[in-house]
Each structure stands twice: as C-alpha cells, then as structure tokens.
Chain A
Amino acid sequence: MYKNKGRSRFLVLCLAPATILFAIFMILPTVNVFRMSLFERGAYSPNETFVGLKNFQQLFQDSQFIRSMQNMILLVVIVTIITFGVALLFAAILTREKVKGQNLFRIVFYIPNILSVVVISGIFSAIYKPENGMLNSLIGLFHTMTNPILWKGETLVIPSLILAMVWQAIGYYMVMYMASMSSVPESLYESANLDGAGRVTQFFQITIPLIWTNIRTTLTFFIISTINMAFLFVKAMTSGGPNGASDVALNYMYSQKDAGLYGYSMAIGVVIFLFSFALSACVNRVTEREPLEF
C-alpha cells in the first residue's frame, strides 16, 4: 500500500511539469488557432466578437492569400522532390561505391544544417547580390552581361529560394539515408551482382525498397518542416517581396498578425494546419508498402 502511494506520487511529480508546459504552450495555442479563427478581435483589447466563418469567406477571395498558398505548395513540392532525389542518390553513391574521403564529404555536406536560417539568408544575399554578387560575377566570367541578373526579382525569386532551401536541407537527409543504407546487408548486393544486376537496378530494387520505411517517415516530417522552412527563408531573405511575389502562407499569416487582424490571421493558420495534415495523410497513404525484412 505504501509503495503504491509512493509510486503514484513519483509518477505525478515526474509527469506533471512536462504535461503542464506542453498543455499551456502547445495544446492550448493549437486549440486557440481554431477557436480564434471564428472570432474578430480588437487590436489591443482581448474583446472578441463571434463572426462564424466570415474570416474564411474573406480568405478565399483574397488574391494575396491564394498566391501565398500557391507559392507554399510550389516550394514544398519542388524542394521535396529535389532534396529527396539528390539526397537518396548521393547517399547511395557514398555508401555503395568505395569513395575516398567519404567521411570528409559527410562532414561538409552537413554544415548548412547547423547554420541559422538568418545566416543562410545572409550568405545567399551575398550570392544573389545583383552588383558584385558571387553568382553574377561567376556568370560574368563566361559571357558579358549588360544588365545584372536580378536573382531576387519578381521572376526569379522562387527558384532562388528553392536553391537556398535545397542547399540547406540536402546534407541532413543525405547523412540520415547513409546511416540507414549502411544497415542493408552486403550479401544482397553480392547476389545481385552475380545475377548481373547493374547499379541502377540495385538502387531501385534493393536500396530503396529496404529503406522504404525510413523514407516514408522522413517524407512526412519533411513536408511539415518545409512548410515552416519556407516561412523562415522567405521572412529572412525577401519578406515576401518583391510585391508579394515570394509570399508564403505562414508569412502572410504572420504579416496579418502584425497588422492586428488576429482572427483573419488565425483563419490562415487553420488552413495551413488542415493543409499540412491532409498532405501528410495523403503522402502516408500513397507511400504505403508492405514493409520488407532483411
């Protein structure tokens, strides 16, 4: 009896702080995102008036919101495809082929992941600077430009952002896949070699299927993190400009908050929430396979 009492006291003491912090700073705000999207709130007073779905009705007539959603989807899709394609390919090369200096490459490729997005955006503004920027001066070596290329101009800003985001993400996923690929038993490749299967066949028939579970989990989380990363990059690199050409949904949500339109801002938050869950669920469904044992 005494022991049982001590046990529950111990459990409560251990679990209560984490549960309380989690409830206050994660569950409550999440619930609030959904609740506040149905209200209108004064900029400085906590008085709220219930407006139903009015914020959402406004939202779908707001061309800037539609544009920011389109940009977000575009960034998520393209960054995911490029990052996963390149990371898987390079991880396979580095684990399968006897590349010298494998460790050095691994260390270097991981560097962007430890830098703050603010630092990366500083680095990329030096790269993209129209006059005397790294990229334009490199291109200038090969052919003379009359007008400098505006990498952060309206037409090129999205590709420029994609490049920066891929630059940041690739190393992390490469290192992760190298770890899971190195656990695939060598004997499988040996027998594949005997059967005359080439590198490409081995990659698609052995490597990818065997680490599929890992790819699936990381893909789901990558999508959620890319929605967020797109915001971090846009906020630091372009602030959504020029003329909203690079705005993404989370950045638009944040700017509405700065404008004091809290209800409207949270309606955007709800759309982002639902979108990210729906997308994760879709990806999860589409990528479902029988897990392979090895």
Chain B
Amino acid sequence: MKSYDEMANNVLSRIREYETEQNHKKKLIKRAVISLSSVCIAVLIGIAIWNNLSIQVNTYSENDKNIANGSTYSPDESEYISNQGDNPVFIPKVKLPETSNNDIVADIIGLVVYKGNIYTQTEYYYGEDDGRIKELVGEYLGYATGKINEWSSQDDYAKEFASTYEGNVYSVNGYSTDFRICMYEKFKDEDGNTMIWLQFMEKLNDIELTYGNELFGDRLQIKGRISSVQYQEYYDWNEGKDKFQHLSGVTQDELNAFVEGLYSGKFEYVTDFSSELKHTMLYLRLDDYTTVELELIEGGYVRYQYMGELYYVKMSEDAFNPVFNACINNNGN
C-alpha cells in the first residue's frame, strides 16, 4: 500500500504530466491554425473573386438552411455558443454515458421511460402525510420496473416504463403528462408514522426552447400562482444546508415584473460563468404546494434547477435586479 506521501506525489506528478501534455497539444493546434488560416484566407479571397463573377443564386449559409428546415443545432459543450436571433436552444435526448477514460461524470440520473420519452427526476417531497401532496397525484399510468442501471444498454431505454426507480407512475394534477409525471408511494416508517414520497419526473430533454414562457409558462405555469418566495445563499445551497429565508424588500410589482421578465427572456447556451459573478438560489412556492427552484446569476441569467448546466434564460436586468439584489443584499454576499 502507498503512504499518503507516495500517493500525493503520484497524483501531483500525473497532474503535471497531464498539464504538460495539454500545453503541448495547444501549441500544436495553434501552429496548425496559423498555417491553415493562411491557406483559408487565400481560398476565401479566391472564392470572393469567383462569386463576384458568378450569378448569385444561393444566399443561405449552412445555419440558415438548418433554420429554414426547422432544425436546430446542439452545442459542443467545450465551447461557448451564443444562439443568435430567434433560434431555439436544443436539449438533446438523454443518453447513457459512454464508457470513457476521460469521462468525469459517467453518471446516471433517476429516470423513467413513458410514451417513448425519457423523464428525469426533479423536485421530490418526502415526509409525513398531511394530505396536500396527495392532491397532486393524478391518474395511474403504469408500473416502473426499476431495471435500468449503470450497465444498461441504450436499447433498455426504449422499453416503456423502464426506469431507475421501481414503483407506481401517475400523472400530476394540473400539469401535462407531456412535461411532468410522478412516482408516488405511501408507507409506514420504522416508528409507524405514515410517510409519503412523491418524486416528480419531467421531460426536460429532446426539446427546443426559445423563450422562458415555454418552460415557466406553458409547462410550469408560475404566473399568478406564486404563494411565497424564499431564497437561499449559494454557499448554503452548495453545502446542502436547508437554510431558507423569506424574500423581503421586493414589492409585488417587482415580483410580477420578474416573472414577466422570466417569461420573455430568451434561452441561451452558457458554458462558463466567471467565478467572480454572484449566485443565489430562489424558490417560488406555488399555490399547489409545488416549488420551482431557480439559480440566479449576476447579469440576468436564470436556470431552472433541474435543467442541464448549459441552458439559461437571459432576462432583462431591469426585471432581474430587484429580486436578485434583494437576495444578495439580505445575505450580505
């Protein structure tokens, strides 16, 4: 067995090797780009001259063609891509991660297959049965088999009610089954108390989203249904501490404007925020006892907590700042 020092030295040495290799690759790419750029410039000049001499028939770029066909593009997560104009962001279908030495998150999330679509786990409720949560549980849809695990193949995902959880699946009252379904169980704990567990599963993949209202309006329907608002310091959230605080210092008009801004804001791909930016977590408690959990990032960016870390609504700062500043100023960030 290795001592602490031996393992620490090995780790440091492997990190340094990796960094040296990466620097070497970057240099090679830089050189190749410089060489290719020279060639490309020459080719582009040639094409420009040729086009000026030709009849211009096709003015579409590749991206324009995609838009005309109604298709969208999916980003390479390694680089920032800003979707211009009215292009929607596309959230690809959930796939079982491929085995890869470089895969930092060879992960599996809670999911269930319903009507050929994959619904992934979002908000859950667990606690003593007070009767209110039960009202959300709608029509019985089927029994999830719980047979998907890290070793499952892509074919397993094609099976109806294949899932990582086992249990009864229901619709959710007030929500479309195209977006949200749930798993629900009632049971006695070891002390004999009646407990309930309700897990929402939402279809947040294989979809296109252009404006915030497509998620927060059409699907989550938050407008006019917010019964209270709480926030949590980002640090507490990151440390898993459930320290919620009521949002104060925000007028009803400002809150309404925030919701309007969320609806009209545009979805963008963002892969990397500066570490200097402030974050906070906002919890919109709705009148049906559900919660919409949002991450707010300085500059007007909002992410629905259960959406991948790539898809943000960019709000107008006029609508965003009163709520964001109230969270930040109250917690002294």
Question: Is B one of A's binding partners?
Answer: no
A residues sitting closer than 8 Å to B (CB atoms) are: none
Q: Which residues of B are at the interface with A, using a C-beta cutoff of 8 A?
A: none
